[in-house]
Amino acid sequence: MRTLLNVIWLVFSGLWLALSYIAVGLIACLLIVTIPFGIAAFRMAGFALWPFGRAVIRTSTPATAVSTGCLNVVWFLIAGLWLAIAHVTTALALAVTIVGIPLALGNLQMIPITCFPFGKTYVPRDRVPRGAEVVYQF
């Protein structure tokens, strides 16, 4: 079932969203200071391309919470809001059909990850480390 959802996702929204993340990543990599944002965008592009069967887990610790929070605020102001708008637009377009409703819900679930990507990582759902805080599962 996950493979079928991923293929449908890829055709109807994954490719378009992944290209958006790649464009943001390329723009962010133009300056040395913003390379961490570019790397985050490239990681999220892979997740946006094939999300089902993966989990998002929290990797930030109390020692890195302040730096992670600052990076997330800057990311949200520069790129997160625009990528979230892309997810909402795609979700609205997919929600028109009955087949697209689960994909629209998946798009809406990705918005918090899109807005605040730092301090999180993406792993296959069956390889979540024991004791890890799972933020989302697709």
Provide the mean pLDDT of the chain.
Answer: 89
Q: 103 vs 23, 29, 48, 83, 91, CA distance in Å?
A: 22, 30, 12, 16, 7
Q: What is the pLDDT of residues 99-113, one digit of tens each?
A: 889 889 989 999 999
What pTM did the predictor assign? Answer: 0.87
On whether residue 138 sits in a domain, the answer given is: no
CB-based burial of residue 98 (10 Å sphere; 0-12 exposed, 13-18 middle, 19+ buried)?
exposed
Calpha distance 1→52 (Å, rounded): 9
Contact yes or no for 9/52 (Cβ under 8 A) = yes
On whether residue 111 sits in a domain, the answer given is: yes
Give the dihedral sign, CA 48/53/138/6: positive
On whether residue 136 sits in a domain, the answer given is: no
On whether residue 33 sits in a domain, the answer given is: yes
Q: Which amino acid belongs to residue 75?
A: W
How many folded domains does the chain comprise? 1
On whether residue 133 sits in a domain, the answer given is: no
Range of the domain at 11: 2-128
Whether 88 has a pLDDT exceeding 90, the answer reads: yes
